[in-house]
Amino acid sequence: MIDTPRSDDAHGRGRGNPAAMPTLLCLAFVRNTVTGRTNAYNTQGETLRKGERCVIEADRGPELGVVESGTWIEERPETEFKRVLRRASAFDEQEAARNRVREPEAFRVAQERIATHRLPMKLVKAEHLLAVSKLVLYFTADGRVDFRDLVKELGVRFRCRIEMRQIGVRDASGLVGGIGPCGKELCCSQFLQKFEPITIRMAKDQNLPLNPQKVSGMCGRLMCCLKYEDDMYNEMRRELPRFGAIVRSEKGEGRVIDRNVLKQAVTIVMADGAKTECAVGSITVVAAANEASDDEAGPAGDEGRNGVGP
């Protein structure tokens, strides 16, 4: 009798995909010299030292990287990490230097051709891939763009393969880089690997001004850093009584009219109109407020304002 394989076995999941099974890996933090992002890479058994230059895997193709730490051994699935392909040779360094020189010219020519064809797109960056005869052009657009004639002209001009890659406004900010409102380099150009959903609700919960100019990044969308402390604010807010709750303090009973999440304190108003701030540990809830009256319910549509771009 022949056993019929299960569907999960047929897809490599029944007994486990070997690449997805934990195994001892030699890892190191490497900074991509093109994007500036630092991530852990699988060195494939090579022992690398801080400051060494190497060629790493990237979504766009092989790129130069700089080792930011020593190597260490850890049991993790191979699929979680991109690989260090090799130590950078003199040829790799020369090729990368030539690419950096050629890219501004490629950007200028591509912009001129886009203007000539009157294409509804904005060119963001031109990038020559390391050791690959390919020019990648990143652009943003509101919809689909027919750039077939543009690709033909640029292929003849630069004598290489042309790849047009449409990206969102957040990816564009990460590629171009810049300084954020905090005075530091943009998170998306340093370490962010994916963009989490961001809502105006997060700014409201953190008592930030709801002025779009105050909570928006260079990309025009809600700042990614609003997500960083959101979980902490949600957890700390659970310890506070809701707005409108009746609480008993050392000075008597009153109604909650304001809350300070970071101080873990509430402001209550007494029957005579006097206001006082009390630590949450010094009060007792006498009558809980209706959930619908709390600001956690929020106005309709807060959660629908998602700041993630295409």
Tens of pLDDT, residue by residue over 113-148, are 999 999 999 999 998 888 678 899 999 999 999 999
Nearest to 217 by CA among 184, 172, 170: 170
Encoded tokens for 125? 């960056």
pLDDT at 190: 80
Contact between 290 and 296 under an 8 Å Cβ cutoff? The reply is: no
**163/61 Cα distance (integer angstroms):** 12
pLDDT at 148: 93
| pLDDT at residue 172 tops 60 | yes
Give the rounded distance of the alpha carbon of 280 from its chain centre: 35
Contact between 140 and 172 under an 8 Å Cβ cutoff? The reply is: yes
92-167 and 243-293 share one CATH topology?
Answer: no
Give the rounded distance of the alpha carbon of 236 from its chain centre: 25
pTM: 0.68
Which option is the CATH number for 243-293: 2.30.30.140, 1.20.1440.230, 2.40.10.340, 2.60.40.790?
Answer: 2.30.30.140
Contact between 55 and 92 under an 8 Å Cβ cutoff? The reply is: yes
CATH fold group of domain 92-167: GMP Synthetase; Chain A, domain 3 (3.30.300)
Domain range annotation of the chain: 21-88, 92-167, 243-293
Q: pLDDT higher for 1 or 215?
A: 215
**pLDDT (tens digit, 9 = 90+) per residue, 214-265?**
899 988 899 999 999 999 999 998 888 988 899 998 888 999 999 989 889 9
Nearest to 49 by CA among 82, 84, 25: 84
Contact between 44 and 83 under an 8 Å Cβ cutoff? The reply is: yes
Contacts of 271 (CB under 8 A, 6+ apart): 252, 253, 254
In the beta sheet, which residues pair with residue 216? 222
pLDDT tier for residue 62 given thresholds of 50, 70 and 90: confident
Contact between 163 and 154 under an 8 Å Cβ cutoff? The reply is: no
